[in-house]
Structure 1
């Protein structure tokens, strides 16, 4: 299951950023005030130009203490975004994009999603660190063990066993496992569904994700969680009769219609598959 980032409201984020700025300013002011005598502290204090320059200098020094190391920009928090120089709106755009389960895999895509300036991008992008395999997506070939590896672009909902076997590293067993799963599901709605195919080793999953996509949409008959019977819920992929019974029981004890987040409260619910299960549901 992919860890979901904590999501704060826009108001909370702005408050957090303002709080951090306030702390930095208070610390710098304290350092300046301590250098003054107790007599001057009791007098009316007016920040002159020289003092303001000292405050600005100390503020810049505090900001420079942020030691920038290589990082994956997909996991920028409110605080780190602030330290990088991003605005609240830019951080919001990134978090909203990430909340859909998507990832940015290049500096250009990061700028497209967040809208950061070219100047800021040039400053922080050298520290971006993406998973190695994502850096080969835009090229049909790359070199591995001194041999060119060609990536295919196969539609997982139309692929035959032969199409999948033609992928280097995918044999008959894996190919048939994928086709059987597709038939059982009535078609894939997400490439991530191959993560849950029994018998597929992690290496095979990685190879399949590099060489296939879910291009053809499949017809989905969505089930309303708040009106469906136990039998209807049990027809949803990844929900068995036991979980369906738990949903109905949980629903009967709730005063309000269930929401997607309520399913997370069911003890036996497969949370690692929630992102895919919700495609089949309505509320």
Structure 2
């Protein structure tokens, strides 16, 4: 009887598998560790990923990869958070995340995962800023910026204390922008 080369390989492979599955396990004692099996070992603490659920993330210093580690925040939402932080100059409260429009995410349930260090806010000098750059701040509208620059023309220079003392803006607006301007 003639056996093809491919059939011969199949017969040999079948024999090896049969031996590995049925014969070898009976010959190896339970106390011995078989050569072809990897024994169970614990990973060291440095190789195990740390779940970010239990960590509190500081919003003013977090990068996108850290934010993505929070359940529910993907690359799109992480980019939105970082862009808003850049527009503001930094977060002074975790509640400011609620000002960002998240379509499919309830950010209120994630607020305990975040913290804020107000010392990391980049305060800007109103006197050196252009109309356009002040207009990019999320808390100021076009009319507010016009009032600020009219006061700058009137007083020669402008800063937060002048805005407050001369009541250039309404008190609620002044309270909102206080952490962001010198």
| TM-score normalised by length of structure 1 | 0.34
Q: Which has the higher contact order (CA 8 A, sep 6+)?
A: 2
Computing the radius of gyration over CA atoms, which structure comes out larger, 1 or 2? 2
